[in-house]
Structure 1
Amino acid sequence: MPIRLDKLVSERFGLSRRAAQDAVRNGRIDLEGERCDEPGREVETDTPIAFFPNRPKARIVAGRLRVLHEDQHVLIVDKPAGVLTLPTPDRERDTLIERAGRYLTIRHGNPKPFVGVVHRLDKDTSGALALARTHEAVRAFQALFKAHDIERQYLAVVEGLPARASGTIDLPLITDRGDLRRGVGRRPGEGRAAITHYRVIEQFGPVASLVACWLETGRTHQIRIHMAEIGHPVVGDAVYRPRNRPRCKAQFQRQALHAQTLGFRHPLTGQDIMVEATVPHDMDALIVDLRNRYGIRGAGG
C-alpha cells in the first residue's frame, strides 16, 4: 500500500514527522539511489531509501516560504504576516502567490508553474493557507470551501474578557456599513450569513484574552468583525476597533490573528489532511508579555 515519503522516512529512521519532512526537503534522502526532495511523494513501504544526516543542504529554496503540506494538487503554506496573498492594482511583487511560484519553479524545475488561489488570509494575518497547483484542484477546493467542509481554527488575542467562556456569533455581514468598510447587517434579511464559534483559552487579568475561533462560514474579515461586534476587538485591529473605545493596555503592530490549523478530506485523493502553523514569534511574544504582566488563568478560572 502506498505511503508518503516523509512518513516512511519518519518510521524507518525514528524521526519526528517534521524532521522527516525537513530531511527530504533539504536533499538528505535518497529514494532508490536518487536524491528526492518531495515529502509528499507516494512510495511503497518496501521502497529502498537512505538517510544522510550530514549531507549539506541541496539548495536554499528562494522566497522565504514554509511549506506545511505538498502533493501534486495542493500546496499548503504558512503565510507570514505582512505579505499579501495576491497583488493589488498597485502590482506588488513580493506576494504569497509569487513566493509559491518561485518555490515550485526551484523544486520541480517548471519555469511557469500554475498557482491558484482558493481562499485568502488578510495581509496582516498569519497562518495556514492552501494554494491549488492545477486548474482541476482550483475547482475541487473551491467547492470544498463553498460547502464548508473545511476545519479551520484561528487563534486571536482580543481585548477584555468575554462574558462567556465559549459561544457562537451568528451575525450576517455586509460589504459596506456606510463608511466603505465591512460590517454587520442591521436590517432583516440584510447581508450574508456568517457564523463564528469561539472558546476562551487564557485570560490575562482584565486586559485581554486568548481565544480559539472556528469558522462555520468564511466571509472576509469575519472573525475581526464578529469579535469587535461583541465588544472584544482583536488586539491591534485598527479597522474594526471602535474609535471611541478607551485605549487598550495590550498593544500590537498588527491584528493578533493567526490561522493555526487547516484540515479537510482531500477532494481529489481522499486523503485526510490536517496541518498546523506554529504561532509566529511576534504574536507569541505578545502572549508571553501579557502572561508576565497580568498573570494567567484558564477560561473557567
Structure 2
Amino acid sequence: MKYFFCKSNRIIVLPDMAFQRIDNFLHARLKGVPRSMIYRILRTGIVRINQKRTKPQYKLQNGDEIKLPYVEIRSQQHKIDIGKKTFCAKLEDLILYEDDYVIGINKPSGLAVHGGSGLRFGVIEALRALRPNTSFLELVHRLDRATSGVLLLAKKRSSLRMLHEQFREKTIKKEYLALVQGEWPTHITVIDAPLLKSININNSRIMRVHKEGKPSTTLFKIEEKYKKIATLVKVSLITGRMHQIRVHALHAGHPIALDDRYGSNEFHQTLRDIGLQRLFLHANTLSFIHPHNGKNIFIIAPLDQKLKKFLEKLRSLVKTTL
C-alpha cells in the first residue's frame, strides 16, 4: 500500500475537537495510515498548528489552525478518489443561504465535511473551489459523514469567532429529524445521560453512556408513528457531544434507522427491504444571530427526495396493515 501526500488543507479546531492529542486526532482523521507514518509526518513538520511545528503529545485548543496534508491511499483492493468537479456541481445547488459573512448548505449524506480518510475533497475544499475569491472560509461546526442537513460555514474570521461564541453560550439552535426503531414512548422527552468516548476493537472512536462521561442532554418529540415499525422524532441538542443523538436513541432502546455503528441489524434489514439506503438522521433546521447585523437567521434544510419517497412508502405500508 502506498501513501501520497499532496497540497495541505486547513482545519480550524472546533470546541468538540479540543483537548485531544494531535497524534490521536490525525490517527482518527487519516484512516488507514499507520501510526508510524503519522509520527513521521509530525517529525518532518508537514503538519503545522498555528503555522508552527508540533509534537505528538500536543493537545488541541479551540481555535487552533491545523494545516495537514491530503492523503490518498492506493492499493489493489481499495482506491477512493472523489473529483472536485463532482463535489462542486452538487454543492452549488445545495446552498440554502449565503451572504458576505456566512454560507449555509444542505449537506448530503455520504459527503464528508473535509478531506481525509482517503478522500481528497470534502465540503470545505469544494466550497473553497466554488468561491475562489473568498479569502477566508471555514467550518463553523461539523456533521457526521452519514448525516445530512444544515451545515454552516464562516466567510470571515470575525464571523467564525462570534458563531463559536454562540455555540459556547448555546444560543445557536439545531433541530434534527431521526427515524428510530419501534414505537418511541410518549413519556421520554428528555434524555440526560453522560457520554464517554472510547475506542472499539476496530480502533474506531465510539461513544457510550457512562457515569464518568461528559454531561449530555437531548430532547425528543414524536412527529409521526408508523405502527410499531418505527417512529419519526424531532431532536434538539442541549449539548453537542460526538454521536450524541445516535447514542441517546440507543440508550432509550430505539436506535436510529441504518445506524451501522449503534443500531440493530434486523431493523436495518427491514427498512432496507422497504427502500431505505442511508442513516436516517437529518439536521433539519439551524438558527443563529447574524454576526454582522444581529438579525435572527433561520435556515431550513428539506429532506432529500429519497427520504421523502421512503416515508411515503412506509406510510403506505402501515396503512395496508391496519
SS at match of 2:112: coil
Question: Which of 236, 247, 271 is equivalent to 1:250?
Answer: 271
- Going from structure 1 to structure 2, the CA distance change for 1:246 and 1:104 (only over 3 Å counts) comes to closer
**Which among 217, 241, 245 is matched to residue 223 of structure 1?**
245
Q: CA deviation at 1:147?
A: 1.5
**Partners of 2:207 and 2:242 within 8 A in 1:** no
- Aligned: 1:79 with 2:107: yes
TM-score, normalized by length of structure 1?
Answer: 0.70
Check whether the contact 2:209–2:251 (CA below 8 A) recurs between aligned residues: no
Further displaced range: 63-72 or 245-254? 245-254
Residue type at the aligned position of 1:84: A
* Maintained 8 Å contact 2:195/2:210: no
1:81 and 1:123 in contact (8 A); partners too: yes
In structure 2, distance between residues paired with 1:87 and 1:219: 21
Indicate the structure (1 or 2) with the bigger Cα radius of gyration: 1
Q: Which residue does the alignment assign to 2:56? A: none
Task: Pick one of 100, 103, 123 that aligns with 2:127.
Answer: 100
Amino acid at match of 1:63: A
Please give the residue correspondences for 1:269-284 in structure 2 after superposition, counting only pairs within 5 Å.
269-284=293-308
Deviation of residue 69 (structure 1)? 1.3
Instruction: Quote the sequence identity (%).
Output: 32
* SS of equivalent residue, structure 1 residue 285: helix
Instruction: Please give the residue correspondences for 1:68-147 in structure 2 after superposition, counting only pairs within 5 Å.
Output: 68-93=96-121, 95-105=122-132, 110=133, 113-147=135-169
Q: Distance in 2 between matches of 1:283 and 1:144?
A: 31
Contact 1:207 1:248 in 2 (8 A): no
- Cα distance change, pair 209–165 in 1 and its aligned pair in 2 (3 A): farther
Question: Could you say if the C-alpha distance between residues 286 and 165 of structure 1 is closer, same or farther in structure 2, counting changes exceeding 3 Å?
Answer: farther
TM-score by length of 2: 0.66
Aligned: 1:162 with 2:190: no
C-alpha change, 1:264 and 1:142, in structure 2 (3 Å) is same
RMSD between aligned alpha carbons? 2.2
Q: Indicate the residue corresponding to 1:285 in structure 2.
A: 309
Determine if contact 1:224/1:240 at 8 Å carries over to the other structure.
yes
Distance 1:165 1:282, change over 3 A: farther
Preserved CA contact (<8 Å) 1:63 1:100: no
How many residues of Structure 1 are paired with residues of Structure 2 in the alignment? 227
Residue 247 of structure 1 and its aligned partner are, at CA, apart by 6.0
Q: In the alignment, is the contact (CA less than 8 A) between 1:69 and 1:275 conserved in 2?
A: yes
Structure 1 gap ranges (5+): 1-60, 297-301
Whole-Å Cα distance in 2 between the matches of residues 288 and 113 of structure 1?
Answer: 44
Higher helix proportion (structure 1 or 2): 2
Q: Which residue of 2 aligns with 1:200?
A: 222
Between the aligned partners of 1:99 and 1:150, the Cα distance in structure 2 is 25
